[in-house]
Every structure is written in C-alpha cells, then in structure tokens.
Amino acid sequence: MEDAKKRELALMAAKIRKTALQTIQAAGSGHIGGSFSIADILSVLYFDKMKLDPKDPKSPDRDRLVLSKGHCSPALYATLALKGFFPVEHLSTFRTLESDLSGHVEIHVPGVDMSSGSLGQGLSVALGMAMYAKAKSKNYKTFCILGDGEIQEGQVWEAAMCAGFYKADNLIAFVDNNKLQLDGSLDEIMSSYPIGDKFRAFGWNVLEIDGHDVEQIADAVELAFSMKGKPTVIVADTVKGKGVTLFENNVNFHGSQPKPDEWPVCYAQLDDEIAELEG
C-alpha cells in the first residue's frame, strides 16, 4: 500500500474516533471503548474495500456489513456519516427519542444492513446474506464484526460450523480482539482463546493481524477476497479505547463517559493525531 493511502485511511480512522466521541458526548451516553477499537477496520472497509454507494444504500449489488457488536453504533454511525450516507450534523440526535439513531444500530438508518444489539446473532445473519448471494449467483461480499467477548455466545459457533460446512467463501468476519468486555478481561470472565484455532476447527481460513495497522487490515481483506472454498475470519489484535490514553485498556470506558474536565484532554489527543496525519 502506498504511503499516501495509508495516511489517508489512518486519518479517516482518527476522524471516525473523534466524530464518534462527539456523538457520544452529545447524547451523554454511548460505548467508547469498543467503538474506538474498530475505527481502523471501519476506515479500511468503507473507504477502501467495500463496494457501496451512499446515494443508493439499498443497491442489491452492494457489499454488506453486519455490526454484530451493535452497541458500538457510534463508530458505525460516524463512519456512515463521514462516507455520506447521511449528514454529519444528524449525529447530534444520537439516542434521543425522536431520532432514528438508536444506541444499537438499526436497519432503517441508511447504510445499516442489520439491526443488532442482542449479542451473538450477527454472524448467523451475515451467513444468511452470504448463502443467499451464493444461491442467486451474486458477487457481493458480506462482512461481520464480532466482539471477542461476544463470541462467548453459543450461536456464534453454530454459525461458524455452518459457514465452514457450506464453504461460504464470500463471508468475511472480523473478531475485535481488544481483550476486555463489560465486566473485565476475557481471561478473568471466560476466555475464548485461542480464537483462531476454534475457527480453524470449523473449516475457516484464519488471519491474525494488528487491528490498528490499516495496511495489514487491507492486505487481510484482499487475501480473504482470493480465498476459495472457506469463509475467512480476521482476528484483529486491538486496544480497547485506542487513540486516547484515558480510554486505552480501561474497562471503565466500555460504556462510561469522561468527567467534565477530561473531555478537552481527550479531544486534544485526537486533534493532535489528526493534525499530524494531515500535515
């Protein structure tokens, strides 16, 4: 990947984080940690790899994305707004009663392909989309983003077994391996490690990458595009709350907010990164 493209995608990830934080601050609630950890993945998918048109969000030939960890809606909504699916200003209505931008992503929002929030269900739906494409000879790809805590849900593994058995090679899943969930670390609560080996056992192609390196993300997606006969899972090693020191690896910011005097410090870090990437 050329340096200019790497910088462009890293810059967009930083803008996604800042926009997501502004969205959360406006609402007074929202999930920071997991939204920040997937920003680089969303940047690569929506601004480089996915086939989609914001002017035609329901195109039958578009690539699909299921955000199975649907509570990280601030990141996806920020991405969709920055991509042009709806005005960025609309994000200020997040989580208000009159808004369509609920705390968990909903399909009536332009660019959202599945309502999600009940953890564990997204991979099944993504697999259904992928199998439909196979049955109808469609060439779109279906992506699914799962949380590493979320894969403690049994339905994930039913879908994984089915996808491997039916050789759904047009399905690409990401596991956001930020190593923390609501109540603590995965190791403390119920370890899902080794994640890659579990998917391999169900017949998946497994790629393990740095989930904040846009070049590694893009290369992994290209490898997944070329895979025949197997679905691909990209296990992305990430940092919960990536980009702001206060949030990073801090389980308290799974869904909590900074104190009033902490907001300026958080924005300053994001602004510094944006300025450096723009310079």
For position 279, what pLDDT does the model report?
Answer: 87
In the three-class reduction of DSSP (H, G, I as helix; E, B as strand; rest coil), residue 115 is classed as coil
Q: What is the DSSP letter of 138?
A: -
pTM over 0.85: yes
Judging by DSSP bridges, how do beta strands 184-185 and 180-181 pair with one another?
A: antiparallel
Phi/psi of residue 176, each to 5°?
Answer: -80, 90
Q: What is the pLDDT of residues 229-249, one digit of tens each?
A: 999 999 999 999 999 999 999
DSSP H or E segment with residue 205:
strand 205-210
Mean pLDDT of 174-196: 96
Domain locations along the chain? 3-278
Judge whether 103 and 124 are in contact, CB under 8 Å: no
Q: What is the pLDDT of residues 1-26, one digit of tens each?
A: 999 999 999 999 999 999 999 999 99
For position 59, what pLDDT does the model report?
Answer: 97
SS3 content of the chain, % helix, strand, coil (to 5): 50, 10, 40
Residue 22, both tokens: 């502004």
pLDDT for residue 275 is more than 90: yes
Count the residues in the chain. 279
For position 61, what pLDDT does the model report?
Answer: 97
Q: What percentage of the chain has pLDDT greater than the value 90?
A: 98
In CATH terms, the fold of domain 3-278 is Rossmann fold (3.40.50)
Judge whether 160 and 168 are in contact, CB under 8 Å: no
Cα of 32 vs its chain's centroid, Å: 13
Residue 144: pLDDT band with limits 50, 70, 90: very high
